[in-house]
Each structure stands twice: as structure tokens, then as C-alpha cells.
Amino acid sequence: MTDVNSVRPQARAETSVRPEEVLLPPVDVIEDAAGITLFADLPGVSRDRLGVHIEGDSLTIEGRILLPAPEGLEPIHTEVGLAVYRRVFTLSKELDPDRVAAEFNQGVLKLRIPKVEHAQPRRIAVQVA
């Protein structure tokens, strides 16, 4: 037991507002010399319900699921029990947020984040003295 837990319990209660429960979409992140490619699975999200935002160095991917279903549907077995996907990544400074290209096809988002020009690799010649 440390004293930290008992310090200002009220302040703690105020700040620990539970964030909305969301689905965490699985991703693949692959880096090559020119940039980073990110694939994310967001099944059930249509193009107009998908949001990709970059603010400062944080990249947010979010989407809302809309499934075609008849009225009065009673769930029997549920594996996807929430309707919102969200995942946030922190970009590093050598990535260029202004030239991000996005494709979205059948629930798969592909993001290409190139590196800024000067961060791209350059072969360094080793001089022999």
C-alpha cells in the first residue's frame, strides 16, 4: 500500500470517466524505406461511416458498423457486440502527415504514410583515410 492511492480520492474519481467501449480493429503495420503501410480490418463499416483523422502526431481510425438486418432480430450468438471501431496510433516525426493516401475496400482500410523527403535513407559513403 502506498500513500498515492489515498491522495485526493475525489479528483481521481472525476478524471476516471470510463471511455466509451469500442472494438479494436486488428491491424498490420509494415515499414519500408519510403514509408509505412497500415492495413486495418473494419468489417461492416461503409465508406461514409469511416473516419481517418490526423491531429498533431496522433492518427485516429474510427468507424461505425451498420448491418442490414430485419426488424425484430433476436440475437442467438454474438461475437461482435459493439458498433464502433476506434484505434489511435502515435506517428513519429519522420512520417509526413500531409501525404497520407487511404483506400477502403470491403472493410479493409489501407493507409500509406510516406516518410518526409529528408528522412528517407541515403547511402553514406565511407571514406577510407
Binding site for another protein (CB under 8 A): 26-33, 36-37, 39, 41-46, 67-80, 105-108
**Residue number, 96 or 110, with CB nearest to another protein:** 110
Output the smallest distance, CB 5 to another protein, in A: 25
Output the smallest distance, CB 113 to another protein, in A: 12
36: left (phi over 0), alpha (psi -120 to 50) or beta: beta
Q: Which amino acid is at 96?
A: D
Output the smallest distance, CB 121 to another protein, in A: 10
Torsion sign (Cα): 52, 26, 91, 121: negative
CB distance 113 to 90 below 8 Å? no
C-alpha cell of 124?
553514406
**Residue number, 9 or 81, with CB nearest to another protein:** 81
Q: Which amino acid is at 56?
A: G
The C-alpha atoms of residue 68 and residue 36 are separated, in whole angstroms, by: 34
**Residue number, 20 or 71, with CB nearest to another protein:** 71
- Phi and psi dihedrals of 14, rounded to 5? -70, -40
**Residue number, 43 or 99, with CB nearest to another protein:** 43
Output the smallest distance, CB 71 to another protein, in A: 7
